[in-house]
């Protein structure tokens, strides 16, 4: 009898079987399966250390890039659930969706979404800036 292959299993198996294989190619940047698995593990550990628990929801307002892939694997590794927010919504609709889903954390890219600071400012949970170096004035940087 074989076990089901979960998305997390897929990532970990790909990182083991093809560590230097391309998991993501964006412009001139290439990310290996090993790097992506490491990023996801680090995010999972950071979320857990920040109080994100099994079944908690983590909202995402990110472009289709490396931070989104990291989050889509790292969040379930922490036992949490991803909630994608629609980047084309206005601040009021984003705030309503964020409140409705009951997110404990929000992973956001301030440069990607012009209303991000306003949205993050009204959010009472953990706010994570997805950009390397991050906006430490408005958020924690776990990625």
Give the neighbor-by-neighbor strand order of the sheet with 105-108: 81-84, 57-61, 105-108, 126-129
Tell the burial category of 12 from Cβ atoms under 10 Å away from its Cβ (0-12, 13-18, 19+). Answer: middle
- Residue 135 is predicted with a pLDDT of 47
- Residue 1 is predicted with a pLDDT of 56
Question: pLDDT tens digits, the chain, 143 residues: what are they?
Answer: 567 788 899 999 999 999 999 999 988 889 999 999 999 999 999 999 999 999 999 999 988 888 999 999 999 999 999 999 988 888 888 888 988 999 999 998 877 776 777 777 778 888 887 766 554 444 444 55
């Amino acid at each position: 009898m074989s076990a089901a292959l979960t998305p997390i299993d897929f990532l970990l198996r790909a990182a083991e079987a093809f560590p230097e294989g391309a998991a993501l190619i964006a412009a001139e940047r290439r990310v290996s399966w090993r790097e992506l698995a490491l990023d996801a593990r680090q995010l999972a550990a950071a979320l857990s250390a920040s109080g994100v628990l099994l079944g908690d929801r983590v909202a995402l307002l990110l472009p289709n890039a490396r931070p989104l892939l990291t989050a889509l694997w790292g969040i379930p590794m922490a036992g949490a659930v991803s909630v994608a927010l629609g980047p084309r919504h206005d601040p009021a609709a984003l705030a309503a969706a964020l409140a409705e889903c009951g997110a404990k954390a929000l992973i956001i890219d301030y440069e990607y979404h012009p209303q991000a600071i306003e949205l993050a400012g009204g959010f009472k949970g953990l706010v994570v800036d997805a950009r390397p170096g991050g906006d430490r004035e408005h958020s924690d940087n776990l990625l």
